[in-house]
Structure formats: C-alpha cells, structure tokens
Structure 1
Amino acid sequence: MKQFIILLIALATPFLGGAQQRPKIIAFYTAKNDLAHISFVKEALPWFENQAEEVGYEFYSTSDWKEMNGENLAKYQLVVFLDTRPEITDQREAFESYMKNGGAWMGFHFSAFALTPSDFPQDWNWYHEVFLGSGQYASNTWRPTSATLKVEQPLHEIFEGISATLKAAPNEWYRWEHDLRTNPDIQILASIDPSSFPLGTGPKAHEIWREGYYPVIWTNKNYRMIYFNMGHNDMDYDGGTNETLSSTFESPDQERVFINSLKWLLE
C-alpha cells in the first residue's frame, strides 16, 4: 500500500502547484553484450537528452538495475528499457507494480527478447506472456536492413504527421512465438509492409523473410506502454572493424514516431 501511495503522489506531482513541473524519464540499459545493441545504447542516450527540451522532460539513465525499486520508480513518469530487462525477482516485481499502478514504459528491440535455453530464458510470464504478449523470440532477419512499415492505426497519436507507410532505419527484425493479432489486449500499431519482401540478405535462407505478417510496434491496451522492435544497428562484422554502419535514428519518419510516442506516454 505504501508503494502504491508513493507512486500515485509521484505521478500527480507534475500537475500540482502553480507551475507545471517537467515529467521525469529514467532509462535502464546494460550495454555489455552484442556490439549492435551497445551501439544503439550509445546513440540512444544522447538522443533522449537532446529531445528533452522539445518534448519537455527531465532525463536520467542508469546501468544499475538496483535502481529499479518501488521508491525510486515512483519518482518517474516513464521508464525506458533500452536493451535488456531486469533479471532479479525484486526488480521485476517493482516494475510490474509500477506498471499496474499507472506508470508508463517504452521498450526497444532486445528488451523483449527471451529464449529458453539461452542467457535470457523465458522465466518471467507476466512480462513476456501478459504485458508484451509476444512470448519467446522465434527468429530474425539478417543482415540488418531497412524496411517499409505499414501503419496499422493511422489515427493513433504516435503517427501524427506520418503517412500510411514509413521507411524504417536498418534493423535486425524479430519474429515472435505468439501471433499478436489473436490477443485482444494487444493493439498492433505498425508491421512489416509486404513491399519490403524479401527482407534480409542472409547468407542463411531462414534469415531472409519472403512473406508473412510481422508486428514491429505495438501497445498493450491495459497499460501505458509501447514496444519498438527497432534498436539493432548494422555493424561491420565482416570487415573486421566492428564499426557502426547505420543509426536507428537516421530515418526522419521513424524518429518522429519515437518523439510522438514520448509525448503520448507523458501526456
């Protein structure tokens, strides 16, 4: 009960008093594994800082997942997972409580990953089965390539100023265990447009998608949240330099969707 009261006070704080205070965002990240995910985190952190003035928020980031506790989360109006998820039970329970009590969340790419067996097994049913609805990771395209995305909900606030399709930045695109179209709690906001096929260059045949339906942006209607499959830059693995070859923020339309989503979650 104490945790719930603290959260309600924190969520109401920006609207109390004479002058409206700026909402606060906290971004969690790990940035220790895949070089492409590390590359994304390194560009995402300054991007969020740069958008703070336009959108109107205060931004804080941390790689210390111990900060995911009820007392600390209550200070923030939006939580961002840049590349991973919490692994400790107490941290997971704190996040679940935060979301169930009116908190907001934005997640990117690998933050939804789960595969049993792997270093990130599916051992968190509420998060993967209920909250995200996607279940486990099933496969991905390779190499990272751009794609045309179909806007599934053109009247949604995140697509203000966006046409029926948009060109996404290069990315490793994920396929999921569950068909999100069958989940009444999930609203798919954007998917891979068929004009993108074949998507991926291989060299393995299963790394090239030639048909199918693949959601890449969605929300759970029971929570204030949005998930983006974007967040994996192209890297020079073959050339041996490991340099970043693309940017998740190089697409103006995709960047506008990110900004619109921040405004939507913070309103």
Structure 2
Amino acid sequence: MKYLLLLLLCYNGFSGTYAQHDTTRFHVIAFYTAREDAAHISFVHESNKWFAAQAAAHHFSYDATNDWNKLNTDTLSHYQVVIFLDSRPDSLPQRLAFQHYMENGGAWMGFHFAAFALTPSAFPQNWNWYHQQFLGAGSYDGNTWRPVSAVLRTEHRQHPVVKTLPDTFVSAPNEWYKWTNDLRKNPDIIILVSIDPSSFPLGTGPKPHEIWHNGYYPVAWTNKKYRMVYINMGHNDMDYEHHTNATLSSTFASETQNRLIINSLLWLGRRK
C-alpha cells in the first residue's frame, strides 16, 4: 500500500506538470528587421514587450527574431501564427516557405510596413502572390503625415475580431497608408476597420498631399482564403525635427485598438 501511494503521488505530480504546460494554447513567432526608420524600430521594441506580456496573460508562447532565414518550412512547422512586425521576406526561399505555410493552414498577422511595396524603391512590388492575392492591397499609394490619431469605424460587425468593439473608437497615433487597389471590390477581402469620415482632415503636413480631406481608407482586413489579419498601425511619432529620435507616442496607447490586436491574434491562434 505504501508503494502504491508513492506511485500515485508521482503520477499526480507528472500529471500536474503536463497540465501546466498544456495551458499553452498556441505558439507565435514574430519576424522583424528594425533597421533605418526610427519609428519602425520603436514599434518593434515596444511590440516585443507588449506581445510577451499578452502571451503570459492569454496562454500562448511568443518568440521574436530578426533572422529571416528562420522563415523556413522546418521552423514554421512549430508555430501556429507568424507575425511580420515591420517588413517582409525578400529572398525567394523565404517567400516560398511562407506561401507554402499559408496555403497549408498557417496563420499570419502583419503590421504597417509589412504591406509596403513601391516600385521603384528599396521595397519594390515584386511579389504578386503576397501583395495582389494574399493582401489584396497592391502597392503603396501615399500616406498621411505626421503620425496622428484617427477616429476608426468598425465594419463587418459579425466577425469575431471586431464583434466586441464599439462602432467607432480613437486610435493611437499612426502614419496612415493608402493603396493602389480598392479592397472593397475584392470579394475575398473582409474589411474590419476603416477610417471614419469624422477624422478628416487627417494629418498635419506640411505637404498638402499628406493631409487627407476625404476618401475611403481601410486599416484592418482579412482574406477569406487564408488565416490572416493585416493591421495598418505600427508607426510611432518620433522627434525627427530635433534629431533626437525620441519616441513621442505608443502604438499600444489605445485600449480599444489593443483589443483589436489581441482579438485578431487569439482568433488566428484558436481558429482551425
């Protein structure tokens, strides 16, 4: 009886350890570059801290790397969600591994510059599957300046990502992008959040085209053919004028915007 009791205690101890590890619901890996643009570097640094805290609160694991060579089939097989924080892969093997991952049930979340493409530039539109089919946005077609908050409108209210969000909410400061493709005309795209007209004029300039006075601008969407969410936020306001590069705003300063981000990640991680 004594030995039986000891065996039961040992078994229960191992069961408890297993149950504790089993609370990890899914695994996330974030890729970033964090070079050159101080605003994107600032966003990457605060993102890694924020997502690590969210991982502890919501029971997922979070790894982050600036080694894009890890964007390969073997590494991706260990993760349920991939995040692009501030860029995209540029080598053909990395692109093919990511496309294979997404076409075989993988999930993705991208921020701001992860969707950027402009020809000619250091980030040309030379990946049609990603920019035209997967994201649907095409190429970059302009932005507001400087980074400011906007009133955002929740769309497609039945979608789990935005179901609990208010009809409108105020974002954190951001540099807002517009695109060459009209996402409303793409039957595969579900627009989740757009800029509300009450935001206009949006931006402060000094260049006139950097201030938007009208138009329709989606800032978060998903593609029905893939497990993905793109969110345009991810550019902090920086002190460029005095050459200090000090961070003047935080992408995670809006509680409702944070809920949009974590709702998206949990939906991607739990969705089968």
* TM-score in terms of structure 2 length: 0.90
Q: Render the CA deviation track for 1:191-228: whole Å, top value 9, x for unaligned.
A: 00000000000000000000000000000000000000
Structure 1, gaps ≥5 residues long: 1-16
Q: 2:224 aligns with which of 221, 227, 238?
A: 221
In structure 1, what is the Cα distance between the partners aligned to 2:163 and 2:135? Answer: 24
Question: What is the deviation of 1:239?
Answer: 2.4
Contact persistence 2:152–2:193 (CA under 8 A) = yes
Partner in structure 1 of residue 11 of structure 2:
none
Structure 2 letter corresponding to 1:259: I
The equivalent residue for 1:173 is 176
Corresponding residue for 1:238? Answer: 241
CA change 1:41–1:137 in 2 (3 A) is: same
Q: Does 1:129 align with 2:136?
A: no
Match of 1:142 among 131, 145, 148: 145
Aligned residue number for residue 117 of structure 2: 114
Q: CA deviation at 1:155?
A: 2.1
1:152 to 136, 140, 155: 155
Partner of 1:40: 43
The residue aligned with 1:79 is 82
Contact 2:24 2:61 in 1 (8 A): no
Q: Is contact 1:160-1:260 (8 Å) kept? A: no
> 1:193 maps to which residue?
196
Q: Distance in 2 between matches of 1:58 and 1:253?
A: 23
Indicate the larger mover: 146-155 or 243-252: 146-155
Shift of 1:22: 3.1
Q: Which amino acid in 1 is paired with 2:144?
A: T
User: Which residue pairs with 2:268 in the alignment?
Assistant: 265
Distance 1:93 1:157 in 2: 30
1:49 corresponds to 2:52: yes
The one-letter amino acid of 1:124's match is W
The one-letter code sitting in structure 1 at the alignment partner of 2:154 is: V
C-alpha distance in 1, partners of 2:56/2:192? 26
**Contact 1:149/1:166 (<8 A) preserved:** yes
Q: Which has the larger radius of gyration?
A: 2
Query: Equivalents in 2 of 1:33, 1:188: separation in Å?
Result: 31
> Could you tell me which amino acid in structure 1 is paired with residue 59 of structure 2?
G
Aligned residues: 251
CA distance in 1, matches of 2:52, 2:109: 15
Q: Structure 2, unaligned stretches of length 5 or more?
A: 1-17
Alignment partners' CA distance in 1, 2:245 and 2:266: 34
User: What is the TM-score when the length of structure 1 is the normalising length?
Assistant: 0.92
Q: Tell me which stretches of 4 or more aligned residues in structure 1 moved more than 2 Å.
A: 17-22
Q: Which amino acid is 1:230 matched to?
A: M
- TM-align CA RMSD: 1.2
Q: Could you tell which deviates more after superposition, 225-234 or 47-56? A: 47-56
SS at match of 1:130: helix
Would the aligned equivalents of 1:55 and 1:262 in 2 still touch at CA under 8 Å?
no
Secondary structure of the residue that 1:157 maps to in structure 2?
A: coil
Within the alignment, does 1:255 sit opposite 2:258 as a pair? yes
Once the two structures are TM-superposed, the CA of residue 166 in structure 1 deviates from its matched residue by 1.1
- Provide the identity percentage: 61
